[in-house]
Every structure is written in C-alpha cells, then in structure tokens.
Structure 1
Amino acid sequence: MYTKSALILILALTAALMTGCSNSPANLFQGYVEGEYVLVSSPIGGALVTLSVTRGQLVTKGRPLFALEHDFEAAAVSEAKHGLQRAQNNLANREKGQRPSEIAAIEALLRKTKASAALARLEYERRVKLIAEHTISQEELDRAKSDYDQQRQAVRQIAADLTTARLGARSDEIRAATAEVLQAEAKLEQARWNLDQKSQAAPADALVFDTLYREGEWVAAGQPVVSLLPPANVEVRFFVPETVVGQLRKGDRAEVRIDGTDVPVPTEIYYISPAAEYTPPVIYSSQSRAKLVFMVKAKPAPADGLGLHPGQPVDVIVPSLAP
C-alpha cells in the first residue's frame, strides 16, 4: 500500500513523462517523399534493339532512351517517298500537256493540211472560171467545192487539236492529280511518324528511376520501357490534424528535414486535401495515431528535388504555424 506522499510523487512523475512525450513543436509534422513517374513507351511494338540508359542515370531533355527494331517502318517510308514522287510527276505531266515531239507532229500535219486546202481552193477557183465558159459540167464544179470545204474543215480541226495539246490536261484531271499528291504527302508523313515512334527520347531532364526491359526482348505496343523521375515531379506529402488545417494556405512555406543532414529543404504547399482521412500506416507518430488528418502536398524547387527520394520518411516544419 502506497502512502499518500508516495502516491502524489508517482502521479507527478507520470504527468512529467506524459508532458515530455507530447513536447513536439505544434508546427512539426511527419510525412514522406513521393514521386510522379513518367513512363516512356512506344505506341508501336517491336523488339528492343538499343537501351541507351541505365538505372540511376541523370539524363537531359532530348537524350535518346531506347530504340525498337524499325525495318518495316523504314521500308514504309521509302515506299511512301516513291509514291509521292510518282504523284508529283503525274501532276507535272498533266500540267505541261503533250510531249514536244507529239506537238511537232500535229504542227507538221497542220501545215500539210493547209497546203492541201490551198491547192483545193485554186482548183475550185479554176473550176468557177471554166463553168462560166461552159467548159466543164456543174458536177465537176460541185466536186471541187466539196473538196475545198473538206480541206478547210480539216485545217480547223487540226488547229484545234494543236491548241488542246498545248493546254495540257483538263482542269478536273489536274485537280484529281493534285489530290493524289496531297494523299501521297499524308502517307509519307504517317510513315515517318511511325518510324519516329520506334525511338524515344527523354521529354525532360530527369533521373532514370528504372528500366523495365532488356535488349532483345519483345516490347508490346504501349508498354513502358523506361521510368523517369523529373525533379519537378518530386513532392512531399505530410498530414496535419483537423485543428490546424484551416490555418494553412496554398503557397505557404514548409521546411523538410531528412535524416543525415541538418540543412532543411525548402518547399511550397500547393495542395491541401478537402477530405479528412485516418493517419496512414506509414506515419508512426504516437501523437497523431488514430486521429483524423488532412493530407498536404508541397513541392521543392527542381534543383532541391534531386536530394529527395520517393518513400523517404521526413519531418516537415511549417513556419506559419509556429506558436
């Protein structure tokens, strides 16, 4: 049986111990580092020919990451180029009209027909004089006139053919040939796009977090080959009780402390969850366990994000909540 004085001493010691356990600053919270990964893949499948990066490597924007076999796509580009050249030649041929040798043949025929027409005219005029002298019959005169008229019509027809030959194809044929050129250009662009997709480069400066295939393995369309973690995609998530969440604002500063260094990493709060949740298992604080909390996200500067690693536990101090 404890005496009254001993009981008072025990209660005092217990209170002192409890006060020491809950003596953490009111603006100190526990959290962890998270990363939003960029999974780089190709929309077209194929065997992995070249893997240009390794895990843990830092790459700059535009740095080649990997290449899949692309013989089929390269052949499609070559075929599309020849198709475009054929369509362009067809359009040029229709715009120019017939070949010079064909036009020369028509011109020669026109000269010959004109000479025949001139001779037929002389024969007709001679017959007109002879009919006036009653030397020939009316039938002979009619025959000469018919021959002269036929020769004149032949001259007009060949002259029209020559004009048509110099004009080229009809307008609707030229429009059709132009459409074929545009179609061939579109096919070439499509073939080039397919070929370009077989090789992927880094979309931004980033850390190669993981490589998911080895050279020689078959990669299905859309399957990630390289996982990147850009510094701008690193964030810190921490949890605050509902008693203080109303005091936080987007843009507030938060200092992140990690084990092994005394230099805090400056961050800026950019997201405050609108919904409460129970403290997640990753948070081991005895003071916040089994309490309703709100998740807060903060981002460091890209240069500072390189020193943070996803899954790393951290302590977060929010200066604006200091008592």
Structure 2
Amino acid sequence: MALLIIGAASAGYWWWRSRTPALPAYVSRANGRLEMTRIDIAVKYAGRIIDLPIREGDVVRPGSVLARQDTAEIKAQIAGAEAQRQRAISAIGRAEAELDVRRNNLRLAGLEMTETATMRGKALVSQVELDRRRIAKDAETAGAAAAEAAVKEARNALSEAEARIARLTVILDETTIRAPVNGRIEYRIVEKDAVLPSGGRIASLLETDDVYMTVFFPMAVAGRLTIGDEARVALDAFDGPPLPATISFVAAEAQFTPKYVETASEREKLVYRVKLRIPVEAARRLDGRLKAGMTGNGYVRIDPTGHWPSSLAFGHAK
C-alpha cells in the first residue's frame, strides 16, 4: 500500500511538472502577496460624528462622503464673523464720510491761511491773526490724517472679518470627511455619535488604484532589475492570463526572507524586496475582485530583451 501511495504521488508530481511550462533562464519567479496602500481616514478637527454612512467593504470614489461632524459651533462662529463684517462695512462708510469733511476743511483752512498771509504782507492783519490761521490749518491737517487712519483701520477690520469667514468656511467644509482616492473601506473604527479629538481616526481605506505584489529575489536576480521594467503577476485565485505589472521598487539592502514564504530553506536566505505594481487600468478593470492578501507568483525578466513565454504573454506584450 505504501508503495502504491508513493507511486501515485510521484506520478502526480511528474504530471504537474509536465503541465507547468518551464521558464526561460532569463525569467525568474517568486511567490508573494497582493498589497494595497492603506490610508487612515481621520478628522482634522475635534468634534462629534453625527453621520457615518460607510460600512466595511464599501467601495468609495474620490469625494464620497465618509462621515460628517457636528457643525453647530462652527456655524455660530461664521454668523459672528458675518456680523463683524457688516460692522466693518458700516465703519468704513462713516470713516470715509468723516475723511471727506476733514479734507474739505483742510482745503478751506489752507485758502484762509494763504489769504491771511497776503494780507499780513500788506499790514492789513496782525501777526496773531496769521498765526491763528496757521494753527487752524495744522489742526485740520491732523484731523484729515486721523480720518485717513480711521478709514484704514475700518478696511483692515473688514479684511480680517472676511479672512475669518473664509477660514471658518474651509473648516466647515472639512467637517464633512470625504474619500481622497478610489478605495474600499477596510475597517470602520468608530460609531455614530462618537466624540473624537483632532486627528482621531474613523476608518481605514485601501486604495484600490495602488495595487502591488511584494516578492523577494536573491542578489543574482535583484541586481539585474531596473525600475520600470515589465513584470507579470499571476494570482492563485484567478484563471487565465497573468496581470501586467511593472517593477516599481527594488530594496537597496538585503534582508532575511519573511516568515510567510513557503519553505524554511528559503526563509534562511538573504534576499531583496521587490514591488511589482499593477497598472491603474488593470486594477480598475478587476475592481472588487482584487483583495489585499491574495497569494500568487510574480515574474520578472533579468534580460528585458527576452520574450515572455507564451504562458505569461498577453496582448501586445511578448
């Protein structure tokens, strides 16, 4: 019986080998797991969550509403800033009217002083009268300067109120938390009515446009890879042709192979981490099917001029 089992296992192995096309010497394979960029979604301002429409597994698009915070306080501040703006506008009107009066008085005082100076030259008025006219003109000059300062101050108050309104409006908009990218909700961390501090997390989002497989190759392979070179990703869960990919990262330093690599002998080797990124178009085409943690194989060419074998070729890729 034992011999029969061993014979059957051997036959199965050689059948599998015959079904698996041999790879050219310039193509290397490594097993790995699919990964997606994880984004922590957090509130920028402290407050209470009044709406939380997301569920774990939901697919979201850029701009999708993930949560809303209580806005009563910020709206009250905006109303106060609007009132401040209206007061500043009224103050500008009063200050400009006062400035017009002061400027007219200054022109009149100037004319009177000039006339008095002419008359003094003809000994028709006393020096005291001329001095009085000069003092009156100086007073009107000071009054006009004060009125100009009042106009400037009122305009500054208006600018300050408008800047405050703009700032509060931005804060109001940011109390609605939106998805920054295409993605899938991985975890919903809080519940509705939770009160969060500034920076408090509400969810974890997987960016479904940023999908890659992390694989590990020895120096003999990693040293001949170039960022941007073509690669292939074949997932265990998918039948059919592999997915296109490009080499987006090659580690600068070697490391021991992670524990999840299948065999103990492989885990003892020093290898280099390599990322094979799946193009956005391909990831979107499989939207909803690609999931972080999927296992499979990554393929690279150490000679980029070599043709891909038929089992790894697709479209116009060779």
The percent of aligned pairs where both chains have the same amino acid is 23
How far apart, in 2, do the equivalents of 1:24 and 1:240 lie? 19
Deviation at 1:99, TM superposition (A): 11
Residue 59 of structure 1 corresponds to 60
How far apart, in 1, do the equivalents of 2:171 and 2:158 lie? 20
Which runs of structure 2 are paired with 1:197-236 in the superposition (5 Å)? 197-236=174-213
Residue 46 of structure 2 corresponds to 45
Residue 118 of structure 2 corresponds to none
Q: Deviations over 1:224-274 (max 9, x none)?
A: 212222223222100001222111111111111112323311110011001
How far apart, in 1, do the equivalents of 2:209 and 2:302 lie? 24
Residue 297 of structure 2 corresponds to 315
Q: Secondary structure at the match of 1:31?
A: strand
CA RMSD of aligned residues (A): 3.9
Q: Bigger radius of gyration, 1 or 2?
A: 1
Change in Cα spacing, 1:185 to 1:171, as seen in structure 2 (3 Å) is same
User: Structure 1 stretches (4+) deviating beyond 6 angstroms?
Assistant: none
Residue 8 of structure 1 corresponds to none
How far apart, in 2, do the equivalents of 1:262 and 1:286 lie? 30
Residue 253 of structure 2 corresponds to 275
Which runs of structure 2 are paired with 1:179-198 in the superposition (5 Å)? 179-198=156-175
Residue 74 of structure 1 corresponds to 75
- 1:302 aligns with one of 273, 277, 280: 280
Q: Secondary structure at the match of 2:282?
A: helix
Deviation at 1:98, TM superposition (A): 8.2
Deviation at 1:28, TM superposition (A): 1.2
Q: Secondary structure at the match of 2:267?
A: coil
Deviation at 1:82, TM superposition (A): 0.7
> Is the CA contact 1:32–1:312 (under 8 Å) kept in the aligned structure 2?
yes
Which runs of structure 2 are paired with 1:7-46 in the superposition (5 Å)? 25=23, 27-46=28-47
> Is the CA contact 1:80–1:188 (under 8 Å) kept in the aligned structure 2?
yes
Deviation at 1:220, TM superposition (A): 2.2
> Is the CA contact 1:30–1:285 (under 8 Å) kept in the aligned structure 2?
no
Q: Does 1:241 align with 2:218?
A: yes
Deviation at 1:84, TM superposition (A): 1.3
How far apart, in 2, do the equivalents of 1:238 and 1:279 lie? 9
Q: Secondary structure at the match of 2:160?
A: helix
Matched to 1:243, the amino acid is A
Deviation at 1:72, TM superposition (A): 0.8
Which runs of structure 2 are paired with 1:118-267 in the superposition (5 Å)? 170-260=147-237, 261-267=239-245
Q: Secondary structure at the match of 1:183?
A: helix
Change in Cα spacing, 1:318 to 1:98, as seen in structure 2 (3 Å) is closer
Change in Cα spacing, 1:285 to 1:253, as seen in structure 2 (3 Å) is farther
Q: Secondary structure at the match of 1:232?
A: strand
Give the TM-score taking structure 1 as reference length. Answer: 0.69
Matched to 1:36, the amino acid is T
Number of equivalenced pairs: 264
For structure 1, the residue ranges without an aligned partner over 5 or more in a row are 1-12, 101-105, 107-148
Matched to 1:293, the amino acid is V
Matched to 2:272, the amino acid is F
Q: Secondary structure at the match of 1:221?
A: coil
Q: Deviations over 1:180-231 (max 9, x none)?
A: 2222222222222322221111112222222211112222220121222222
Deviation at 1:71, TM superposition (A): 0.9
Q: Deviations over 1:124-159 (max 9, x none)?
A: xxxxxxxxxxxxxxxxxxxxxxxxx9xx99xx99x9
Matched to 1:281, the amino acid is K
Give the TM-score taking structure 2 as reference length. Answer: 0.70
Matched to 2:28, the amino acid is N
Change in Cα spacing, 1:304 to 1:273, as seen in structure 2 (3 Å) is same
For structure 2, the residue ranges without an aligned partner over 5 or more in a row are 1-9, 106-125, 310-318
How far apart, in 2, do the equivalents of 1:60 and 1:172 lie? 52
How far apart, in 1, do the equivalents of 2:71 and 2:22 lie? 60
Which runs of structure 2 are paired with 1:83-98 in the superposition (5 Å)? 83-97=84-98
